[in-house]
Every structure is written in structure tokens, then in C-alpha cells.
């Protein structure tokens, strides 16, 4: 074979690898509203930046007649490229080859690029679309999953890991995305579950559809497994790129600061009127977030899950931050099991990758009731407390209105190493609300007043007295627990000034193998 023939052979092999399982299977993928693995990578990465590795790998299985059918690449496309000029490593499972099922060699391809990403300190993006383990390979396939899981664990908190679920992801396969930082699912075309509807019906008798058991809507609203539910794959890929705007390449770098045309000293007079005079009246904390951040741009995580707390990324004067905010518009902004888990996970993501945390507080306390206590609200609430106390990144807290009891401590209080703790004049910082406090402090006197009108008037007088004397920011400010009481319209400027000041902050935790956080 001469050199021209060898080159032609190479070109032919590349063409064979690029069509995966063949045109018929590609057409079927498109009919289901899904892109192919290579199309997804092309959409994700900067044009012309993809460098593929292991294009010619094939499986080694000789059982069940598998030696008769081999595809170049063996069902997963791996390599590296750039997103906005930044190096990322990526793998995309190819459903057109053996249903995207994972083999020993397939796993080795993924592990290879994960190892390289760790060496160079670059994000890892996994696009999942797979029928699960390749049954014909038995324990070798299971070992391949475990090798990937181990690398997910080692990479956790070292390089950002993002998982996109654009098709099936079931059985043991679900644990790799679960170990990563961000999970994105496409609506109606993806699902995740440990055991499917058929096994569920056999074991439990429960009749349930694939969508209801593990679809994107379920995981975005009920389980909290999915951070984002994308309408389609195009939006899912956009969300991957958008998320990386706020994260650094690795844990030793800071997020990229971009140029910002939004004025630092922009005054927002609407904020001075946004808190209702009635302390029990709701408002939307997102109205505050969109007002104070750069260019009304806020990337909300878990939008449909635990809506009583809002988390997500934004920028202040071009500097990426994580925002955690109680949401009075839903369950009065109370902390419950789901909200505590959601916020704790997000705080730890920010701290792992050097993203400052801005906390907006309006919390009446923890949700009472047997359901919460039986579900372990103590341990789940402690997760958020632990996450804030452990975090060493710059932490800025703004108390907007209520900050009561243990929830006050949990929400990035000064005693949890809050760097700058500000309050609006509307802030009510106390052990509890006025109604509960007066019932305890004045209960005996109230019960002694026989006339209902007099009793009602006495209660109102005492509640007003409590609000004026105790449920305000100045009591906390007297002790230095609040650094300053600020005018709401100046909030953006004060946050930006604080972030500039804290840019060189150095803080650390005691040397240890690892903490034992309340899981």
C-alpha cells in the first residue's frame, strides 16, 4: 500500500467513525427530536475548535457474537475544544451505536479525557444519551462505570463538571451526573432513574410512566436532581455555555471578570419602596435581584424546585457572584428541607470555585410541623449552616426584612464569618416575630384582661412597642453584628464596593482530611 492509499484509508476510517451507527440510526435520532453526539459537540464548542481523541477505538467483546459488529469510536465521542476561547474537555454518548451502551473501552475513552482535564485544570462536560451498561460485557461494563465515578469524585471541587442529559440515563449510569456540579435535562426527550417503570411495577405494583418517574419536569420540580430543565437541546447547550461564564477553569483560578457598561453607582429609587409596609405581605425577591445586578442578567438554578429560596449566578461590575435569596413570594420565604439542601449545595459550589456569595435575607424561620421534623429538618438545616460557616470566599449579606431565630444565624450571619453584613431600614432582626414574642413575654398579662377590645388594644400596643424597640436593624448594629444600615437604592453600589475590597481576601479552615458535614 503506497502513501496515497494509506492517506485514503485514513480519510475513509474517519468518515466511517463520523457516521456512528449509520445514516438510518442518525435519521431515527433526528425523528425523536434529538441531535447526534457530534452535532451536539459542534453546537457546544467554538467553531473549528474540537480536537477528537480515540476515534478509532473499538470494543473487545467476543461474547454473544459481538465480535461480528464493531463501530469505530465504540459509542462515545471524546476530545477537547474551546468555549469562548477557554479549553474544555467533552464527551458525548452516541445513541446510534449500540444504543449508546457503555463498554469497557467506551469507559476508558471517557476516563482518559477526565484524567487529561485534571492535569491541565479544565472543565469537564458530559453529554449523556445512553441505554446503560452494555449487557454483553457484564462486569467489565460495571467496572467501567465505577472508574468514571471515581474520577468524578476526584475531580469534584477541582474542575467544574457539567452534565447534560439529552436522552436515556438509567440504572448505575445516573450516578455520574449526580456526582457533577450542574445537571441539565432536555424536556420530553430525556429521563433519569435508578430503576425503570417495568421494574417498578414488578417490585412495587406501582404503574407509572417514564416521564412521571424520571422526566425532566419531575427532576426539576420534585427531586431537585436537575438544576435546569431546558425546552430542547439547543437551550440545554446554551445553558452549558452560560454556566461556564461564571466559573473559573479550576479551583486554583478566579472566575473571569468581564467589562461592564452598567454604571457602578446606578441608583434604583424603586428599591426604597419595594418592601411592603405590612410585614406579612409578600413581594418577589427576584425583582430586587434583577434590579441590582449587571444588565438585569441573572442565571437562576433550580428555578422550579424549592421556590422559597432563590439561587443563581449574576455579575456585579463584571465580577461573577453567587446569589442566595429567601423568596417571600413562596411559603413566606421560610426555610424547609428542600430549600436548605438546595441552598447548601449552591453555597458549596460557589466556595469550591472561588465565586463570592451575596445573600439577601428575608426569612421568618424554619418551617414547623411533624413532616419536616420526621424528614430531618434539623440535619438538613444544618447543611446550610455548615456550608456558610465552611465557606472562605467573600460573603456579603443584605437583610431586607425579616431575619428571625435560628434562621437568622443560618443565613450567612456575621458569626458565620460574614465579611460585610448590611441591612435595609426595613430589617427586623430578632429571636422571633412580634406576635410570637408578645404571646410569650406578655401572655400572663394578656390572659388577665377580660374585655376583648381592651385585650386586643393591649396586644397591638405591645407588638408595636416590640417592633420599634427590638425588631429593627439598629439593635444588631449596636453590637456590630450589622456593619451598616444602608439605603435600599444604594445596594448595588455598596455590594460592588464590598466585592472590590474583598478581592484579595485570604481565609482558611483548619488542616484536616475532610470535614464531616451533616449529610
Residues annotated as part of the active site: 171-172, 406-407
Burial class (CB in 10 A: 0-12, 13-18, 19+), 269: exposed
Q: Give the H/E segment covering residue 86.
A: strand 86-93
Catalogue the E-assigned strands of 131-240.
161-165, 168-170, 182-186, 191-193, 228-230
H-state helical runs in 391-518: 405-410, 434-441, 443-448, 452-469, 473-478, 491-501
> Where does 229-284 have alpha helices with state H?
233-244
Residue 91 forms beta bridges with which residues? 78, 126
d(CA 79, CA 239): 20
**Partners of 115 in the beta sheet?**
none
What are the beta bridge partners of residue 300? Answer: 312
Question: Cell 390572659 appears where?
Answer: 447
* C-beta of residue 299 within 8 angstroms of C-beta of residue 323: no
Helix (H) or strand (E) holding 159: none
Beta strand pairing status for 298-301 and 428-430?
unpaired
Sign of CA dihedral 291, 292, 293, 299: negative
Helical pair 377-390 and 337-352, crossing angle rounded to 10 deg: 20
**Ramachandran class of 185: left when φ > 0, alpha when ψ lies in -120 to 50, beta otherwise:** beta
Cα dist. 496→261, 318, 491 in Å? 14, 10, 9
Question: Are residues 323 and 297 in contact, defined by beta-carbon separation less than 8 angstroms?
Answer: no
Pairing mode, if any, of strands 182-186 and 161-165?
A: parallel
Contact 320, 258 (CB under 8 A): no
| Alpha helices, H only, 45-178 | 104-120, 139-155, 175-178
Q: How far apart are CA 517 and CA 379, in angstroms?
A: 10
Amino acid at each position: 500500500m503506497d502513501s496515497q492509499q494509506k492517506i485514503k484509508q485514513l480519510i475513509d476510517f474517519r468518515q466511517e467513525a463520523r457516521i456512528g451507527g449509520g445514516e438510518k440510526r442518525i435519521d431515527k435520532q433526528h425523528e425523536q427530536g434529538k441531535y447526534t453526539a457530534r452535532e451536539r459537540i459542534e453546537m457546544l464548542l467554538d467553531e473549528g475548535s474540537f480536537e477528537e481523541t480515540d476515534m478509532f477505538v473499538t470494543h473487545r467483546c467476543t461474547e454473544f457474537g459481538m465480535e461480528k459488529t464493531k463501530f469505530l469510536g465504540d459509542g462515545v465521542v471524546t476530545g477537547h475544544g474551546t468555549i469562548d476561547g477557554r479549553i474544555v474537555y467533552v464527551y458525548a454518548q452516541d445513541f446510534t451505536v449500540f444504543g449508546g451502551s457503555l463498554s469497557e473501552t467506551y469507559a476508558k475513552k471517557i476516563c482518559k479525557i477526565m484524567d487529561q482535564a485534571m492535569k491541565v485544570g479544565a472543565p469537564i462536560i458530559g453529554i449523556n444519551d445512553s441505554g446503560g451498561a452494555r449487557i454483553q460485557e457484564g462486569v467489565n461494563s460495571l467496572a467501567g462505570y465505577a472508574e468514571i465515578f471515581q474520577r468524578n469524585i476526584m475531580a469534584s471541587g477541582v474542575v467544574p463538571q457539567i452534565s447534560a442529559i439529552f436522552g436515556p440515563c438509567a440504572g448505575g449510569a445516573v450516578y455520574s451526573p449526580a456526582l457533577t456540579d450542574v445537571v441539565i435535562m432536555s424536556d420530553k426527550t430525556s429521563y433519569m432513574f435508578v430503576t425503570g417503570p417495568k421494574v417498578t411495577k414488578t417490585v412495587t405494583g406501582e404503574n407509572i410512566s417514564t416521564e412521571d418517574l424520571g422526566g425532566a419536569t419531575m427532576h426539576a420540580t420534585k427531586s431537585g436532581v436537575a438544576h435546569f430543565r431546558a425546552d430542547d437541546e439547543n437551550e440545554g447547550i446554551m445553558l452549558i455555555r452560560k454556566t461556564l461564564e461564571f466559573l473559573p477553569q479550576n479551583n486554583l483560578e478566579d472566575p473571569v471578570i468581564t467589562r461592564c457598561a452598567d454604571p457602578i453607582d446606578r441608583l434604583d429609587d424603586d428599591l426604597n419602596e419595594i418592601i411592603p409596609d405590612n410585614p406579612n405581605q409578600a413581594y418577589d425577591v427576584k425583582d430586587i435581584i434583577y434590579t441590582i445586578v449587571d444588565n438585569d442578567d441573572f442565571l437562576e438554578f433550580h428555578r422550579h424546585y424549592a421556590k422559597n429560596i432563590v439561587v443563581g449566578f449574576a455579575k456585579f461590575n463584571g465580577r461573577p457572584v453567587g446569589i442566595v435569596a429567601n423568596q417571600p413570594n413562596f411559603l413566606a420565604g421560610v426555610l424547609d428541607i428542600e430549600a436548605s439542601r438546595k441552598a447548601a449545595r449552591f453555597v458549596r459550589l460557589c466556595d469550591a470555585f472561588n465565586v463570592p456569595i451575596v445573600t439577601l435575607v428575608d426569612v421568618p424561620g424554619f418551617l414547623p410541623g411533624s413532616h419536616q421534623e420526621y424528614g430531618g429538618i434539623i440535619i438538613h438545616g444544618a447543611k446550610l449552616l455548615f456550608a456558610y460557616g465552611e465557606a472562605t470566599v467573600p460573603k456579603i449579606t443584605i437583610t431586607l426584612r425579616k431575619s428571625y431565630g435560628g434562621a437568622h444565624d443560618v443565613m450567612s450571619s456575621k458569626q458565620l464569618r460574614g465579611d460585610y453584613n448590611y441591612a435595609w431600614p426595613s430589617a427586623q432582626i430578632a429571636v422571633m416575630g412580634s406576635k410570637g414574642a408578645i404571646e410569650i413575654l406578655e401572655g400572663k398579662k394578656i390572659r388577665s384582661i377580660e374585655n376583648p377590645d381592651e385585650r386586643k388594644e393591649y396586644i397591638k400596643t405591645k407588638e408595636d412597642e416590640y417592633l420599634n424597640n427590638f425588631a429593627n436593624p439598629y439593635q444588631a448594629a449596636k453590637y456590630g453584628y450589622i456593619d451598616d444600615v444602608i439605603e435600599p437604592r444604594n445596594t448595588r453600589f455598596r455590594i460592588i464596593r464590598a466585592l472590590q475590597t474583598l478581592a484579595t481576601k485570604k481565609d482558611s479552615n483548619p488542616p484536616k482530611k475532610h470535614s464531616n458535614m451533616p449529610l
